[in-house]
Structure 1
Amino acid sequence: MACFFRRSIAAQLSRICGAQEDVFVPLLSAIPASKKQVIPGLRLTVNSLVKNGTLSPDPDLQTQTERLAKQVKEDGVVEEVVAGRGVINFRINSLLLAEKLLEQLHAEPQSFGVKSEILQNLQKGRTLVEYSSPNIAKKFHAGHLRSTIIGNFIANLKEALGNDVIRVNYLGDWGMQFGLLGAGFLRLGSQEKLRENALQHLFEVYVQVNREAQHDDSVRLAAAEFFRQLEQHDEQALSLWKQFREITVEEYQKIYERLGVSFDHYSGESFHQRQSLEVLKDLRSQGLLKTTEKGTGVIDLSTEGDLSSYATVVRSDGTSLYITRDVAAALDRKERFSFDEMIYVTDKSQSVHFQQLFQILRVMGHHWAEKCVHVPFGLVVGMSSRLGEVVLLEDVLNEARYRMLQNMQEAKTSKELSDPEVVAEQIGVSALIIQDFKGPLISDYKFDWQKVLQAQGDTGVFLQYTHARLCSLLRMQGSGSRAHFNPAHLQDNRSISILQHLLRYDEVLLQSALELQPRHLVNFLTTLSHLASSAHRELQVKGSSAEVAQARLRLFSCTCSVLANGMKILGITPVEKM
């Protein structure tokens, strides 16, 4: 609904400056709600008009700002125009703000914000997001949590903004480690133990054979031979590998279900092993593949053509590498899905790998490589449980559920719930996600159970608590669903602060989409929760007159909708009771 107010102000600026209204609409932003001063309105940075050529440069920016501000007329929408330091604040009619914003939110709660004019210039079309991507035959390591929830957020956000999204889980299911595992299993493995606890047994076999390979050449040779047989599709080797893969995917899907994460397409390096041979053939035919003295195949990525920068794409024994299979996967996806952009979500240690991947695609003449993006993230330090250091995601989820259940029982709320364990798990997952999303994704962060599960502050628990309290209020007092309400009853500072903050929702979605960073949405939702919590305490519904109660219920109902919408984009399931 910020669009209505932006359009109105843009119309005036268009008349004054002689440029199209559309020029001004994206330059008008909502004034942040402040505890000290509640100003319902929008703000224009005058320098932005200079940068886009709408205004001529003026050495005295302040004079230019004041001159422009004086030409804007107060009308039914704009009540006051104030020139600040290089900015113009447009105070808007607060009655109109309450009326327009809450009417639209009530009528179309799901589309609020996501259909905004300022989002129209974002690239639409088909977005492919590759995320999670654990290695098969291994338990789901907590290190994959970040890739899983970040990728899920990006896919959710793109989908909410109208993109056709394809969610891909690209499993690490090929490579020399499977030579080690296969050779090790043939000697040390047991089908009986595989039936009892598959991933634990495979993990034990891998650790043992890896240890042996460090000082026994015959083990390394056996591993290389098993992988060579895999590459040549030997029936026995392939059958064993397929068994490992099926067992692992089945186990992973249980974890994904707990996280509320799903995929449209399970892929893996193995799918592209044969295609990687075609890639090498193509590189040779284009004269791009060079052979080093060691016999490895490389692609020159240097600007001078002197091999000062290169990527190795084939081993001396002719077997493919991870990057070769990634090139094959990218080409296959472009042909199969015809994506408009492709986003990879992995930790920052793979940044050079993706730079090389995109360079190889460009060198091969694929200009769509410009639409491929790597979203890197840092490491999590200090995940531990009552049993010691936690490395498995299953343990982390169990720990979050256990601790949250303990907290709920101490608060004596879980007795009212039909399934407290499910609610505890949903809140625990919310807590993990918000803790992870608070800062820049590239940063490492220290994990702290005490901070994660705090009921107060900028936490996932507080978000869920606020949402559940609003749901409870709406259940007991009515949903505020009547067609009409009187905005005159929402002119206090608490109400105006919430309305002004809601005015920013589309800007936050835009910033999140441009940067592919969840922290902007997290900050918005935690601030909204604090504002709603204060309003809930002070703006009584029970005992108020019918008109006042109806207006306040409308405000709380709409706030609840935006909280739920934003949480779902982050990958959080909003709870209605806790």
Structure 2
Amino acid sequence: MACFFRRRIAAKLGKTLQQSDDVFMPALSAVPVFNKQETADLRLSISVLRTNGVLPVSGEIQAQTEHLANQLKRDSVVEDISAGSAVINFKIDRKLLAKKILEPFGTGHHGKIELNSELFNSLKTGTTLVEYSSPNIAKKFHAGHLRSTIIGNFIANLKESLGNKVIRMNYLGDWGMQFGLLGAGFSQFGSQEQLKENPLQHLFEVYVKVNKEAECNEDTMLAARDFFRKLEQHDSQAMSLWQQFRDITVCEYRHVYERLGVHFDVYSGESFHQEGVQEVVSQLQNKGLLKTTKMGTSVVDLSAEDQSNICTILRSDGTSLYITRDIAAAIDRREKYHFDEMIYVTDKSQTHHFQQLFQILQAMGHSWADRCHHVPFGLVRGMKTRSGEVVFLEDILNEARARMLHNMKQSKMTKEMDNAEDTAQKVGISALIVQDFKGPLQGDYKFAWDKVLQAQGDTGVFLQYTHARLCSLIRKNDDIDAATFDPSFLTEQSGISILQHLLRYDEVLYQSAQDLQPKHLLNFLLKLCHLTASAHRELPVKGSPQQVAQARMRLFSGTCSVLASGMKILGIIPVDKM
């Protein structure tokens, strides 16, 4: 949205300093808005120009700033230029600011915003494969998987909005020793009747029982190893039980994903790569990377000078491990999807696993390994329902919906709605997402129901309420035609502050694309909500002269569009009534 103005100011600087316009683009940014205070619109960082060799590093920085500010002339676009502390501030003609910022928005408040900005030119586009969620089969969807699911969904949405072709992959934990345990446990504690009645609950109970049994009974552990070996040898009975567990679980998971508004292009899993494991082992052997230990395990030595780093590839009985299947999966995906980058979203306890994975792929000669990234995240503490300890995501979603429904019924602001449950669910999920995205992803955080579902403060409820309120304003004033509007009727500071804040939208998305952290976009949207609340109070549409009403409607419908666009990137489904 700041495109036009950045380009004009860069041209002015280029002419004055006789340099290409493009060298000034990275040094120009929108000025953060402070409530009720008049500020400049864009600023130029002199330190960035010095670092990039555009200005000489010798000499006092402030003297340089003032000298350059004095050389620059005002024109029909820039009405004021002033030197700040190592920055030059530019104030844009107010009428032109409103015209250019609100130009893309007709009257349709849910129109898709075209995101085009010079800032995005430096971002590589292509095919991005994002692997996220990835729960374990035959276990109920645990609350711990919520973070991977919503963070991965945000990254996929962001990459898509910036012009990448995105493959959303759910890589299920559907192989390995846990299956050995479950297979052995099912013959001991399982029941096909109970499996039909409440599939995942029953499998979970079986898994808990067999785990307990295995701790004190060596025979159970042997039976588990035996079952897993049968799976790896494709024994028909073992495979048939495994397939039944897998189908049941995927079917149950899809319901949860539907509620979260999350979808996948590919449901993959560790089981898809058993064949590939043999190929990986052969390649590692051929390259002389695979060593056999005294214990009979097969390992790759990744040790550097200063530290030992041994990665086990096969157990002594020849069965594969999680990393072996991950190597096979990465190679297979590269061949199948020709991705330009691959992003894994898992908790930070797996950081070492991914370092080893990328190192092994490099050692095998796969140069694309440096385009594989791990996005780690911290743990959530205290995410419990009223009823108990083990927290399943379905229970958390039910609880969020129930509490939200209760709050909505208590509130004087709530409108009569056709589908209050559906709205409560969407708002409840927004609340969970906003709570999660506020800080840096790597941090752990403490979950608190009371904070999450508050209507006041920076919460998902406040975000949804602002959007619903703007939708209501647009519905009530649908007789006002804001398709043509006169920007000179938007002169009040509360309206100007919104326009100035919207200048930052592309910068915020650019920043999010750099570090894949949702907090930048979330904080931008929450600030927009606060600015909107002030403008809503101070700029009435009803009862205002026609041209004033038209201009204000254009401002509010533009704000609504940006809010909806940003919420969707975060993975939040905007509600129109609340």
Q: Does 1:73 align with 2:95?
A: no
Partner of 1:351: 351
Q: Is the 8 A contact 1:301 1:307 kept in 2?
A: no
Post-superposition CA distance 1:106-134 (Å, at most 9, x none): 38975646211111110100000000000
Contact 1:343–1:375 (Cα < 8 Å) also in 2: yes
Give the 3 Å change call, closer, same or farther, for CA 479–441 of structure 1 in structure 2.
farther
Equivalent residue letter for 1:280:
V
Which residue in 2 is equivalent to 1:562? 562
TM-score normalised to structure 1 length: 0.98
Aligned-pair CA distance for 1:577: 0.3
Which residues in structure 2 correspond to 1:45-194 (within 5 Å)? Answer: 45-106=45-106, 112=113, 114-194=115-195
Q: CA deviation at 1:207?
A: 1.0
Instruction: Give the direction of change, closer, same or farther, for the CA distance of 1:171–1:72 in structure 2 (3 Å limit).
Output: same
Which residue does the alignment assign to 1:245?
246
> 2: distance between equivalents of 1:100 and 1:412?
39
Counterpart of 2:44, as a letter, is L
Equivalent positions of 1:432-443 (< 5 A) are 432-443=432-443
**Secondary structure at the counterpart of residue 103 of structure 2:** helix
Cα distance in structure 1, aligned partners of 2:412 and 2:235? 60
Q: Which residues of 2 match residues 307-386 of structure 1 at below 5 A?
A: 308-386=308-386
- Report the Cα offset of residue 105 of structure 1: 3.2
Alignment partners' CA distance in 1, 2:115 and 2:289: 45
3-state SS of the aligned residue for 1:105? coil
Q: Structure 2: how far apart are the matches of 1:219 and 1:447?
A: 37
Matches within 5 A, 1:412-561: 412=412, 416-478=416-478, 481-561=481-561
Deviations 1:253-294 (A, max 9, x none): 000000000000000000011211110011001111111121
Q: CA deviation at 1:104?
A: 2.3
Alpha-carbon separation, structure 2, partners of 1:571 and 1:438: 14
Shift of 1:152: 0.2
Partner of 1:106, secondary structure, is coil
Separation in structure 2 between the aligned mates of residue 480 and residue 372 of structure 1, nearest angstrom: 51
Render the CA deviation track for 1:525-570: whole Å, top value 9, x for unaligned.
0000010011111111111111111110000000000000000000
- Paired residues of 1:383 and 1:390 also in contact (CA < 8 A): no
The runs of 5 or more residues in structure 2 that have no matched partner are: none
Tell me what 1:220 maps to: 221
SS in structure 1 at match of 2:397? helix
* RMSD over equivalenced CA pairs, Å: 1.5
1:487-527 superposed Cα distances (whole Å, 9 cap, x missing partner): 11111100000000000000000001101000000000000
Q: Which moved more, 1:73-82 or 1:260-269?
A: 73-82
Listed one character per residue, the Cα deviations across residues 321-357 of structure 1 (whole Å, up to 9, x for unaligned) are 1001000000000000000000000000000000110
Partner of 1:257: 258
CA–CA distance in structure 2, aligned partners of residues 112 and 363 of structure 1: 44
Q: 1:479 deviation in Å?
A: 7.4
Instruction: Give the corresponding residue for 1:284.
Output: 285
Q: Is the 8 A contact 1:480 1:557 kept in 2?
A: no
Cα separation, 2, equivalents of 1:42 and 1:129? 35
Using the size of structure 2 for normalisation, the TM-score is 0.98
What number of residue pairs does the alignment pair up? 577
Q: 1:560 to 1:40 in 2, by over 3 A?
A: farther
CA distance in 2, matches of 1:119, 1:443: 28
Shift of 1:414: 5.3
Q: Which whole-Å CA distance do the structure 2 matches of 1:557 and 1:483 have between them?
A: 11
- Note closer, same or farther for the CA distance 1:480–1:56 as it changes in structure 2 (3 Å cut): farther
Q: Distance in 2 between matches of 1:463 and 1:76?
A: 37
Question: Which residue matches 1:12?
Answer: 12
Q: Which residue of 2 aligns with 1:574?
A: 574
For 2:79 and 2:488, locate their aligned partners in 1 and report how far apart those are by CA, in whole Å. 16
CA contact (8 A) 2:385 2:391 kept: no
- Bigger mean CA deviation after superposition, 34-43 or 372-381: 34-43
C-alpha separation between the residues in 1 aligned to 2:141 and 2:469? 35
The corresponding residue for 2:394 is 394
1:59 Cα shift?
A: 3.5
Whole-Å Cα distance in 2 between the matches of residues 324 and 268 of structure 1? 13
